[in-house]
Each structure stands twice: as C-alpha cells, then as structure tokens.
C-alpha cells in the first residue's frame, strides 16, 4: 500500500494510522473553519473536511489524501472548540449527565475524485461535579478539542459509556475509511 497523505496536524489521527499499520505522510494547511449555516450539519462538516484537504490534494494529484473534521453536538447544537477556560467549563457543565453525538466528516481525494462521508457515535457523560470539571480543566487537555474534551485521554474519566466507534469520536473512523479505499481500489 502506498502511503496516504494525511491532511491533518492531529497527533491522534497519526496514532490511529500507526496502530493499524497504515503508511502515511503528513501535509496539511491551516484554514479558517467557517460553517455555511445554509447547509445541513452533515454538509457543513463535509465542506469543512473538503476545505481542509483541497489545497493538499492539489499538491498530491496521484496520491490518496485524507482530511477530516469533527464536531460534538448536544441537543442539536454544535459545540466546537472552546474559546477559553470559561467556555470549556460551560460546555462540560452542559454535557454533564447528557448524551452528545460526535460527528466525523471525512474527505478522501484520489486522482481528481472526492469521496466524502460522515460517521457518528454517541457519548454519554457522567454527572460531573464542579470539582471534577475544574480538575479536568486544570489538565489543559481540553484546549483545541471539539466539545472541550479528549476521550482518548484523561477526558475518558468524564464518560459513562459510548455507543458507536471510538475512532469516530477521536475524529478518524478507520474502518469506514478503509472500506472507501477498497471501493475506489487504492488498496
């Protein structure tokens, strides 16, 4: 298998590729994440995933380029990355003892074609005390994370249960990606 081009700076996505022995290189562009609110949530996320990968794909025309975007939704409201500690606190308080849905949109670029999909998984938070929230905020793990937590890290202590793919919550649904790569005959 030829190395894929990961259009992401996420160390978690790199860890998943390594865990599954998928060869890769990293090449990404920072973009301003702007949601087009005239579109449905799925299409908004797919467009962000495409936007994150299209410049990289233009540099790798004969290679597989994969870009992703992940969003946490609570009661049909999108929770992006927290702007600051207070914003993170408010998110965690809102998710306490609640179910949230995590969506991961993937765009796979290959030889001029773009294949997109969105996967989702549900995360149920425990009832969190103020002390638990503050202790978690003190770790700074929430910085730069959708929904202000990292389920693959210390943030797992906030979670009661998960329904769906853990990889989707991390932001890289490996098995679905592999299915698409087989379908478009890159592996």
Active site residue 69: yes
Helix axes 85-95, 130-138, angle to 10 degrees: 140
Nearby residues of 11 by Cβ (< 8 Å), 6 or more positions away: none
What does each C-alpha distance from 45 to 73, 84, 182 come to in angstroms?
Answer: 12, 23, 23
Out of 69, 122, 135, 138, pick the active-site residue: 69
Q: What is the CA radius of gyration of the chain?
A: 17
| Distance in angstroms (rounded) separating the CA atoms of residues 57 and 54 | 5
Q: Which residues are the active-site residues?
A: 69
């Amino acid at each position: 298998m030829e190395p894929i081009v990961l259009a992401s700076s996420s160390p978690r996505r790199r860890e998943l590729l390594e865990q599954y022995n998928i060869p890769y290189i990293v090449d990404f562009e920072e973009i301003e994440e702007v949601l087009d609110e005239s579109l449905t949530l799925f299409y908004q996320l797919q467009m962000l995933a495409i936007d994150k990968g299209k410049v990289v794909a233009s540099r790798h025309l004969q290679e597989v380029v994969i870009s992703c975007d992940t969003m946490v939704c609570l009661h049909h409201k999108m929770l992006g990355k927290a702007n600051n500690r207070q914003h993170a606190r408010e998110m965690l308080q809102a998710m306490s003892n609640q179910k949230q849905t995590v969506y991961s949109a993937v765009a796979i670029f290959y030889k001029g074609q773009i294949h997109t999909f969105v996967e989702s998984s549900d995360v149920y938070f425990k009832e969190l005390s103020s002390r638990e929230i503050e202790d978690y905020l003190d770790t700074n793990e929430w910085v730069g994370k959708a929904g202000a937590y990292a389920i693959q890290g210390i943030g797992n202590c906030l979670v009661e249960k998960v329904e769906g793919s853990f990889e989707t919550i991390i932001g890289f649904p490996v098995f679905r990606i592999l299915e698409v790569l087989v379908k478009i005959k890159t592996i």
